[in-house]
Amino acid sequence: MLRAEGLTKRYRQGEKEVVALQGFTYAFPPGATAIVGPSGSGKTTLLNLLAGLDLPTEGGVYLGETALHRLSEDERALLRLRHMGFVFQQWNLIPTLTAWENVAFPLLLAGWPLAKRRARALELLEAVGLLGRADHPPSRLSGGEQQRVALARALALEPEVLFADEPTGNLDAESREEVARLLFQAGRDRTLVLVTHDLELAARAERRLYLKGGRLLKVEEAQGSRTK
């Protein structure tokens, strides 16, 4: 299980101290958890800390019994490769690679041989409805198709935790619905942490965390709500 204990993040801006996140504690169960709040509420800071992309000023992040904040940068990178997947608003596909090569890239980093990489990538592209686009570079794919490739790539190594940062923010209505369907489908078998401004998208998650001013204000469960 992914959990945060007393997470606090402070920055220095000249002589001023900025508190981006204050005392955040939460254990993320399997299924989808949406993190919502206005701009500047600490959503992106929280996501970066949970993923080990940044380190807290105080508190810690744990994946099972592993304390991410106590690992070296290289150790955190290896943990992310093996246990986490990421879907971003801007897709972040490698423009010189085909769709299947983009999906297979984490497998290359993990040392998989070519034949196994290609077979796994094609399996995932079929699952997101893009097998026929496997040899297309990102420039020949629509925005929605690129995001589906990005989702397939995020699932390549069967991560325990899937992070999604505004995954439908740049999509039209039809593509948004297809990506959302696939994303929540993927979240059934793992922990999905979704950061979004889209309250309609967040409403589809099993639980919603509301942040404001760097603090966790409220947790809403699918069966009701409770205030923190």
pLDDT in tens, 172-184: 889 989 999 999 9
Percent of the chain surpassing pLDDT 90:
82
pLDDT for the residue numbered 96: 97
Instruction: Map out the domains of the chain with their CATH numbers.
Output: 2-227 (3.40.50.300)
- Dihedral of alpha carbons 63, 215, 222, 205, sign: negative
- What DSSP character marks residue 145? H
Residue 75 to residue 209: CA distance in whole angstroms: 29
pLDDT for the residue numbered 39: 87
pLDDT for the residue numbered 225: 41
Query: CB–CB of 31/206 below 8 Å?
Result: yes
Q: Average pLDDT, whole number, for the chain? A: 93
From the CB of residue 170, how many other CB atoms can be counted at a distance below 10 Å? Answer: 16
**Amino acid identity of 128?**
V
- Does residue 4 have a pLDDT over 70? yes
Copy the structure tokens of residue 10.
Answer: 């402070």
68-99 pLDDT, tens digit each: 999 999 999 999 999 999 998 888 999 999 99
Backbone torsion region of residue 2, taken as left when φ is above 0, otherwise alpha when ψ lies between -120 and 50, otherwise beta = beta
- Does residue 50 have a pLDDT over 90? yes
| Secondary structure string (H, E, C) spanning 41-110 | CCHHHHHHHHCCCCCCCEEEEEECCEEHHHCCHHHHHHHHHHHEEEEECCCCCCCCCCHHHHHHHHHHHC
Question: What is the reported pTM?
Answer: 0.91
Q: Is 218 exposed, middle or buried (0-12, 13-18, 19+ CB in 10 A)?
A: middle
99-146 pLDDT, tens digit each: 999 999 999 999 999 999 999 999 999 999 999 999 999 999 999 999
- Does residue 226 have a pLDDT over 60? no
Q: For residue 214, what are the CA distances in angstroms to 55, 146, 207? A: 16, 32, 19
Residue 70 to residue 68: CA distance in whole angstroms: 5
160-173 pLDDT, tens digit each: 999 999 998 888 88
- Does residue 206 have a pLDDT over 90? yes
